[in-house]
Amino acid sequence: MTSLGSNEVFIIRSKIGIGRLLFVPLLRQTPWGITAVFCISLSTGLSLPGRQWPGIILASLVVMWWLYQLGRDISARASLIVRSSGVAFLGWYRLTKRTPLRIVLKPDGHAAVFRSSYSNYIEYENGRLLIARRVVGKKVNQQKQLACELAAFLGVFAYVDDGSGRLKRLAGQR
């Protein structure tokens, strides 16, 4: 959440240990893994001869969904650094994003139910980069402050999506 002077780097998420990076997503995705193992065992062991293909297809879909969720959880916890030029690094991987256009806080879900739940993005010319997902309650003000700091660092403006698709500039920006 801070910028480092001479390196011109803005740290959005700092580096965390490999244990916290892997343990929490694995624990969260354990039910999907158990379901995948159950589907695989059902498709191979208890099926009638010649009738394994529906179970194998179901098992492969569950395994693919589980791996997708696991990868998404790990990437949401990996370190995220943005340089003043707009180049973003997720862990050690340089993302192929071009010029940053704006920072956007977008509401999640239905406006009446999740009024104070936001996701925070950097919008680029060729896509968007998720900074924080489903920020609720008091953390929304921290994310608004982070968005303003990051926007000032990148030389763009920060906006809040009001739910209808219109963007409203965040207060406190120059």
Q: Give the pLDDT of residue 51.
A: 62
**Percent over 90 (pLDDT), the chain:** 0
pLDDT of residue 78: 79
CA dist 104 to 101, 133, 167, Å?
10, 12, 8
pLDDT tier at 3, thresholds 50, 70, 90:
very low
Look-up: residue for tokens 């099926």? 47
**Does the pLDDT at position 27 exceed 80?**
no
| Contact present, 52 and 39 (Cβ < 8 Å) | no
* pLDDT confidence of residue 112: 47
Contact 84, 150 (CB under 8 A): no
With residue 128 as reference, give the H or E element that holds it: strand 127-136
Are 26 and 73 in contact by the 8 Å Cβ rule? The answer is no
Q: How far apart are CA 156 and CA 114, in angstroms?
A: 27
Among residues 121, 109, 105, the alpha carbon closest in space to that of 167 is found at: 105
Question: For residue range 40-95, what is the model confidence (pLDDT) as tens digits?
Answer: 776 666 555 666 677 777 777 888 888 888 788 777 777 888 888 888 888 888 88
Residue 25, pLDDT > 50, answer: yes
The pLDDT-based confidence of 118 (bands split at 50, 70, 90) is confident
Report the chain's C-alpha Rg in angstroms.
20
The pLDDT, as a whole number, for residue 43 is 67
Q: Model pTM?
A: 0.66
Give the tens place of pLDDT for each residue, 129-141. Answer: 878 777 666 677 7
Average pLDDT, the chain: 75
